[in-house]
Amino acid sequence: MNLRDIIREMLIFLHIDLTKNLKYDRITKRIIKNSLKYNSNCIDIGCHKGQILDVMIQYAPAGKHYAFEPIPYLFDELQIKYKNKAVVYPFALSDTSGKSSFQLVKNAPAYSGIKKRHYDISNPDIEEITVKLKTLDEIIPENEIIDFIKIDVEGAEFCVLKGGKNLLKKNKPIILFEFGKGASDYYGTKPSDLFSYLTEQIGLKIFTLDAYLKSKRNISQSEFEHLYISGKEYYFIAASDIKE
């Protein structure tokens, strides 16, 4: 862990939310702690360096954990780090299988994704690589029970969700997902489409992270669209109900 990561963890531990992302990270860890059981099975999509996967393993040490990270050097590091702890795949998840170009942002790898998007950095250094595409339904065994999924794929969230329709309908897991303007709109995704898919086809409710943590009500489609358009929230929870 480098100095930047250490400082980040200290700020999260001390509840010092200098940025919205720090607040989301802090709440995410509390949600995972409150939601997982000792043997919960989890999926981390867009695993990056494994910060969230670490928390999943911490609170569900007897669970089966899957991780997806298409950036080659990060995948290699994750394989070593999580040997015998998680199954790590080098695929980008979508709603189809095949191959795709992938925009690796070398000076800000967390922004990397299948499509170019708006970047909150100046002069992004982009290298276009080729990655394998898979769907969640073809990778995760049909009889595997999945309790929790985290999705952070820089705008391709709806594609990932559509590629896991069978898994989602069967398990109705808690899904923590990013969905923000400046990323998802580059994939042509409308908030109304994603909301309808999760609520009507999968049978889940959608919450803000704060509301889910504090056991408040789920949000409506119009509220979801407003939060998306205004940029007030860009991380959400989809779940069958509030988990105490």
Task: Please write the tens of the pLDDT for every residue from 77-120.
Answer: 999 999 999 999 999 999 999 999 999 999 999 999 999 998 88
- pLDDT score, position 120: 85
Residues 141-182 pLDDT 10s: 999 999 999 999 999 999 999 999 999 999 999 999 999 999
Hey, how many other C-beta atoms are within 10 angstroms of the C-beta on 101? 11
Q: Which of 100, 240, 236, 99 lies closest to 177, judged by CA?
A: 236
- pLDDT score, position 86: 98
Hey, how many other C-beta atoms are within 10 angstroms of the C-beta on 61? 13
- Beta pairing, strands 87-89 & 42-45: unpaired
3-state class of 108 per DSSP? coil
Residues 187-238 pLDDT 10s: 999 999 999 999 999 999 999 999 999 877 999 999 999 999 999 999 999 9
CB environment 169-201: b (16+ within 10 A), e (fewer): ebbbbbbbbbbbbebbebbebebeebbebbbee
- Domain layout of the chain by residue ranges: 17-90+143-239
- pLDDT score, position 242: 62
Above 50 in pLDDT, residue 30? yes
CATH classification for the domain delimited by 17-90+143-239, as one of 3.40.50.10470, 3.40.50.720, 1.10.260.40, 3.40.50.150: 3.40.50.150
Checking phi first, is residue 88 left (phi over 0); if not, alpha (psi -120 to 50) or beta? beta
Above 50 in pLDDT, residue 14? no
Above 90 in pLDDT, residue 16? no
- pLDDT score, position 100: 97
Q: Which of 56, 236, 53 lies closest to 157, judged by CA?
A: 236
Model pTM score: 0.90
Above 50 in pLDDT, residue 17? no
Q: Please, what is the Cα angle at 79 between 137 and 157, to 5 degrees?
A: 40
Above 80 in pLDDT, residue 12? no
Q: Please, what is the Cα angle at 146 between 27 and 50, to 5 degrees?
A: 50
Above 70 in pLDDT, residue 10? no
- pLDDT score, position 19: 67
Are 109 and 149 in contact by the 8 Å Cβ rule? The answer is no
In DSSP terms, 235 is beta-bridged to 178
The pair of three-digit structure tokens given for residue 190, joined into one six-digit string: 């409308």
Report, as an integer, the average pLDDT of 128-136. Answer: 98
- Phi and psi at residue 185, to the nearest 5°: -70, -20
